[in-house]
Amino acid sequence: MQARLLLEDGTLFTGKAFGAEGESTGEVVFNTGITGYQEVLSDPSYCGQIVTMTYPLIGNYGITRDDFEAIRPFVHGFVVRQHEEVPSNWRAQYTVDSLLKEYGIIGISEIDTRMLTRILRHHGTMRGLLTTSNRSVADLQEQLGGMSLMRDQVCRVSTKSVFHVPGSKERVVVVDFGSKSGIVRDLSKRGCDVVVVPQNTTAEQIRRIAPDGIMLSNGPGDPKDVPHAAKMIAELLGEFPIFGICLGHQLLALACGADTEKMKFGHRGGNHPVKDLSTNRCYITSQNHGYTVKEDSIEGTGLQVTHINNNDGTIEGLKHTKHAAFSVQYHPEAAPGPFDSSYLFDDFIESIREFKRSNPVPPQQAKLYAAAKASGIVQGKGEPEYAKK
């Protein structure tokens, strides 16, 4: 079956369909990863996007249940040069084609993905329409012209209820803006008691969970589309240690008074070089984002730049000079990508322990007694009112 991809600038690609039939619209982006297509397909940060893989052969090692980063794929379309229909790998349980069919996602192959990537790099990411129908190009252009990009992706991909992943050490609340499973895995690996909460959880609701630290997860779209999250972070800043990843990094910046902007074509792939300014060491990182923190907005926010991108100089890491809060634009949990930056989870755990040492909490019994005394229940030496009757 034939499939077509139409870009908003009028460029039309005609290729071979795989996956589901129908039509889909979204922002057309590209990912430079050589492996990890399953993790890309299941990364909630791609919600609302038609993803182009620059590596030419996709599907050769199939799909396995163990490599999902979310319960289901969220991409709006999948574009590849060559789709391998028969995977050759002992872990493969089914194919990319069957996965896309199951979740109603359209795939297109046998097009010039190098040409498509060069267009996106030159002109920037743009709206696109992917179809297996026989409608005229004029009809497709008219539909695409009236299309607007999604603004509610975070609401779509975030968990709708609180869930608990028990552990014996520090309790960490993960605010799920579209979190990859790898974040929870890395925290659990370190013994953390993880509580995952929805994206619209308030500061007071988080306080009731009594966390030792707060993790702001990755997620899709423009950080300015979730202003309630920046408000929540601003309320909790200084109260608990905070670690932000990707969208969480941008939201921490907004909460501190900095600003963000859309990039021309973003960073997506597992081979992005990032420089740690404190050591001058370069790390190869996994990334997936289309927005960045504006460097000229940092002054006066209490934030300090800790990492930069070696390719374009954009901000890749921040820390607060007064509060126990830091963030990175890339993915230290990888999945897919290199694990060079997984040490950041250890840094987060250490920041929690240091915060506890510097801010000792009075015993719970003392807090209960103080509250009872303030309310008048306890008089004198602690004798309850009812004992006098």
Reading the block at residue 361, the tokens are 């909490």
Q: What angle do CA 169, 232, 165 make, to 5 degrees?
A: 30
Please tell me the distance from the alpha carbon of residue 269 to that of residue 263, in angstroms, as a whole number. Answer: 15
221 is in an annotated binding site: yes
247 is in an annotated binding site: yes
Please tell me the distance from the alpha carbon of residue 23 to that of residue 147, in angstroms, as a whole number. Answer: 13
187 is in an annotated binding site: no
45 is in an annotated binding site: yes
Please tell me the distance from the alpha carbon of residue 174 to that of residue 196, in angstroms, as a whole number. Answer: 5
191 is in an annotated binding site: no
Q: Parallel, antiparallel, or unpaired for β 193-197 and 315-320?
A: unpaired
Q: Parallel, antiparallel, or unpaired for β 193-197 and 163-165?
A: antiparallel
Please tell me the distance from the alpha carbon of residue 376 to that of residue 363, in angstroms, as a whole number. Answer: 20
Torsion angle, alpha carbons of 314, 176, 59, 64, to 10: 140
| 205 to 53, 70, 183, 216, 221: CA distances (angstroms) | 40, 25, 21, 15, 25
Q: What angle do CA 274, 280, 318 make, to 5 degrees?
A: 55
DSSP per-residue codes, 323-368: SSEEEESSBTT-SSS--TTTHHHHHHHHHHHHHHHHSPPPPHHHHH
Report, as residue numbers or ranges, the catalytic residues: 246, 331, 333
Please tell me the distance from the alpha carbon of residue 192 to that of residue 214, in angstroms, as a whole number. Answer: 12
291 is in an annotated binding site: yes
Q: Residue 237 gets which letter from DSSP?
A: B
The 10 Å Cβ neighbour count of residue 165 is 15
Please tell me the distance from the alpha carbon of residue 76 to that of residue 68, in angstroms, as a whole number. Answer: 17
The 10 Å Cβ neighbour count of residue 378 is 17
Number of H-type helices and E-type strands within the chain: 11, 21
Q: Residue 136 gets which letter from DSSP?
A: -
- Number of alpha carbons in the 13 Å side-chain half-sphere of residue 60: 10
Residue positions forming the annotated binding site: 45, 219, 221, 247, 250, 288, 290-291
* Residues of the binding site for L-glutamine: 45, 219, 221, 247, 250, 288, 290-291
